[in-house]
Structures are given as C-alpha cells and as structure tokens.
Structure 1
C-alpha cells in the first residue's frame, strides 16, 4: 500500500536517479491514467523536457520541468514506479512508460489501475488537484503538537475520520493512522475535539514515530530500483483483526469508521471515561 513513507522513498529515489535528466518520450498504455491534458498532449508536453527537482505534497509526487510546468504523479492505493533499462518487459499492470535520456525508463504500474498522472503549470495543478486545500505535512518540521491541536480542536467527528481528512493532515493514510492511534493509546472512535493536550502530544509523537519508522525501513513496497522495503504492511494492529495485541495480548478489534477499515486494541485504547488499563498507563 502506497502511503506517505512509500511515496517519500520514491520521491527521494527520483532526486537521486532522475532529476537533471530529460524525458525523451512517453507512452500511455491506459488513457484513463492521464488526468490532464489529453494523452497525446501529455506525451508532447513531456518530450524533451528536463526534470529540475522532485518533491512530495501529501501523496502527490511533483516533478518540476524546465519549461515551467510540473509532472504530478499519484499512486492512489497500490501504484508503483520503477526505473528500468530501456525496452524492459512491461508488466500487465503498466499504465504509463516514461523514456529517459541515458537508456532507461520509468514504468508506472498499478494492479487496480487507479494511479494517475497530470502535467500543467503550478497554478493549474494547485487548482485542479486542490493542493492548496491540503493540511499541514506530518513529516514537516513545522508540524508540532500545537499545530495538531489546532487542527483537531473543532472537529466533531471520530478521530480516525479526521486523521484521514487531507484538509486536516496531509497524507496520513489508513494504515499509519491506525498504528499512530495504537501507539498513542487513543480510541479511534473518540471525537477529535475531545482529546486532552496530553493526548494530543502523545498522538503527535506517535504519528511522527510511525512515519519515521516506515521511512527508516524504506516502506513496505519495492523502491524505484526494485529493492524491497523492510517495513511490514501489517504491523501492530493494522490488518490484524483477532490477533493478539503486541502490548497486552487482547485480540485486535475491527470496525469500519467513515467507510474505512479500522483496527485497534480495546484495552490499550479504551473508550473515553473507561478505567485506564495497565497497558495504557505504560504509555505515559
């Protein structure tokens, strides 16, 4: 699953291996993968353009080009990007192939077919991809406990739903939200506005720790060069319904909150007002 750690790893790899090189051509194998402009225009916009930089905004990879436009790539759930020798065999799930000077290609793949690309000037990308509506970046140094408290203060929805709202916090995905709440010992069903300053502080530290751990292990997917990351998709609670909680051995609970699969430990993450468990007390 492509969440912030996976997208950030690919972005860093692109800085290393692609920035400074030109696109010599592109092939669109799945026209629906191009949000804008039309596939033929998309190819023409890229041909001959040099990549100047690589950055990430939420789960968007942004590659500014030497004509003032930017290539945006979004993996959605299971998208991936690989750097391969020119003429390499194309997996059935390949959506777009970007040819690079120097005899290599970038293959954008997605088994579900949802990954998307777009090219446009900064103002167009910001408007059409709604980049200016995104919340603070959880990996940015400016993301503090105070910033998180401000983002949660007036939200009367379950914490899990709020954490996945990209206008509240940019890029935090389903897996990492569950893992962060487990690490912080906070019930995902709690209203976001009900968290105390101490709980917000715990949650902030947990979010940073979970994301940094994912980065340190280079994510759960293969990187740009095909090297498998060492992070586990199913970590402490995410995707482990019924398995023993690593902290207290209570079976992991599952519920759909806001339409998203949610996993937590009822003992380590008690409902508001419930007696504090020994496992939760160890978090303080």
Structure 2
C-alpha cells in the first residue's frame, strides 16, 4: 500500500535518477490512467520535456518540467513506479511508460488500475488537483503540536476520520493513522475536539515516529530501482485483528470507522480521556 513513506522514497529516488533528464517518448497503454488532458495531448505535452524538480504533496508525486508544466502522479492504493532499461518487459498492469534519454524508462503500474497521471501548466494543474486545499504536511518542520491542535479543534468527528481528511492533515493514510493512534494510546473513536494538550503532543509524536520509521526502512514496497523496502505492512495493530497487542497482549480490535478498516488495542487505547486542559486552549 502506497502511503506517505512509500511515496516520499520514490520522490527522493526520482531526484537522484530522473531530475535533469528529458522524456524522449511516452506511451499510454491504459488511456483511463490519464486524468487530463486527453491521452494524445498528454503524450505531446511530455515528449522532449526535461524534468527539473521532483517533490511530494500529500500522496502526489509532482515533477516540474522545463516549460513550466507539471506532471502529477498518484499511486492511489497499489500503484508503483519503476526505472528500468529501455525495452524491458512490461507487466500486464502497465498504465503509462515514460522513456528517458540515456536508455531507461519509467513504468507506472497498478494491478487494480486505479493509479492516475495528469499534466498541465503548474498553477492550473495544482488548482485542478486542489493541492492548495490540502492540510499541513506531517513531515514538514513546521508541523508542530500547536499546528495539530489547531487542525483538530472544533472537529466533532472520530479521530480516525479526521486524520484521514486530507484538508486536516495531508497524506496520512489508513495504515499510518492506525499506527499513530496506537503509538499515542488514543482510541480512534474519540472525537478529535476532545483531545487534551498532553494527548495532542502524544499524537504528534506518534505521527512523526510512524512516518520517520517508514522512511528509515524505505517503506513497504519496492523503490524506484526495484529494491524491496524493509518496513512491515502489518505493523503493531494495522491488519492484525485478533492478534496480541505488542504492548499488553490484548487481542487487537477491528471496526469500520467512516468506511475504513480500523485497528486498535482496547487496553492501550482506552475510550476515556484523562481530565486536563483542552488542547485548543493551551496550544493556540
């Protein structure tokens, strides 16, 4: 599953291996993978363009091109991007092929077929993808407990639902939300607005710890060069329904919250909150 650590690793690899190179040819075996413009226009707008930068916004891979356009790639759930020698065998799940000068090409694949690409002038592309509406990035230096408290205040929805709202926090996915809440000892069913100052600090610490561990281990998927990351998809609670909690051995609970599978430890993540100052009053 491609979440922030997996996408960030790919972006770092792209900076190393692709920035500075031109696209010499483009193929779109799966036209539905192109959000905009039309597939023929997509091909023409990319051919001959040089990649000048690579960055991430939430789970979007954003490649800046030398003519002011921006190529956006989103893996959705199981998309993947590989840099391979030109003419390499293409999996049946190949959606887009981007040939590069120097005899290599990028293969965008997705066994589910959901991964998407788009290209256009950078401001227009950002606007169409609503990038400016996304919340703060959890990996940015400016993401502090105070920022998290401000994003959570007045949110009368369960913590799990709020953490997956991209306008609240950009890019945190289902797996990493469950793991962050476990690290913080917070019940995913708690109202986001009910967190105390100390609980917000714990949640902030948990989010950063989970994402930074994922980066250190280079994610759960293969990177741009095909090297398997060492992070585990099934971590402490995510996807481990009924298995013993690593901290207390209580069987891991499971429930669908906001339509998303949610895992937590009923002992380590109690539903009650300790009485203390509300987060929004002391962190803002």
Query: 2:21 is matched with which residue?
Result: 21
Partner residue in 1 for 2:241: 241
Report deviation, 1:92. 0.8
Distance 1:86 1:273 in 2: 57
CA contact (8 A) 2:95 2:109 kept: yes
Q: What's the counterpart of residue 4 of structure 2? A: 4
TM-score with structure 1 setting the length: 0.96
Secondary structure (helix, strand or coil) at the match of 2:124 reads: helix
CA distance in 2: counterparts of 1:174 and 1:273, whole angstroms: 23
How far 1:273 moved relative to its partner? Answer: 5.0
Q: Which blocks of at least 5 consecutive residues in structure 1 are unaligned?
A: 276-284
Corresponding residue for 2:193?
193
Name the residue aligned to 1:202.
202
How far residue 271 of structure 1 moved from its aligned partner, in angstroms, is 0.6
Q: Deviation per CA, 1:38-78: give whole Å up to 9, x if none.
A: 00000000000000000000000000000110100000000
CA distance in 1 between partners of 2:63 and 2:127 (Å):
17
Q: Does 2:36 match 1:36? A: yes
Paired residue for 1:126? 126
Residue of structure 1 equivalent to 2:144: 144
Q: Tell me the residue number matched to 1:88.
A: 88
Query: What CA RMSD, in Å, does the superposition of the two structures yield over aligned residues?
Result: 1.0
Query: Partner of 1:281 in structure 2?
Result: none
Q: Provide the rounded CA distance (Å) in 2 between the counterparts of 1:67 and 1:271.
A: 53
Matches of 1:269 and 1:125, distance apart in 2: 41
- SS of match in other structure, 1:125: helix
Q: Which contiguous aligned blocks of 4+ residues in structure 1 show a shift greater than 2 angstroms?
A: none
Could you tell me the TM-score, scaled by structure 2's length? 0.96
Q: Does 1:56 align with 2:53?
A: no
Structure 1 counterpart of 2:113: 113
2:211 paired residue number? 211
> What displacement does 1:122 show?
1.6
Q: Contact 2:252 / 2:264 at 8 angstroms: preserved in 1?
A: yes
Answer yes or no: is the 8 Å Cα contact 2:25–2:48 preserved in 1: yes
Residues in 2 aligned to 1:168 and 1:274: alpha-carbon distance in whole angstroms = 24
Count of residues in correspondence between the two structures: 275
Measure, in 2, the Cα distance between the counterparts of 1:22 and 1:127. 25
- Tell me the distance in 2 between the aligned counterparts of 1:17 and 1:126: 24
Matched position secondary structure for 1:161: helix
- Superposition deviation, residue 274 in structure 1: 8.4
State the shift of 1:125 in Å: 1.1
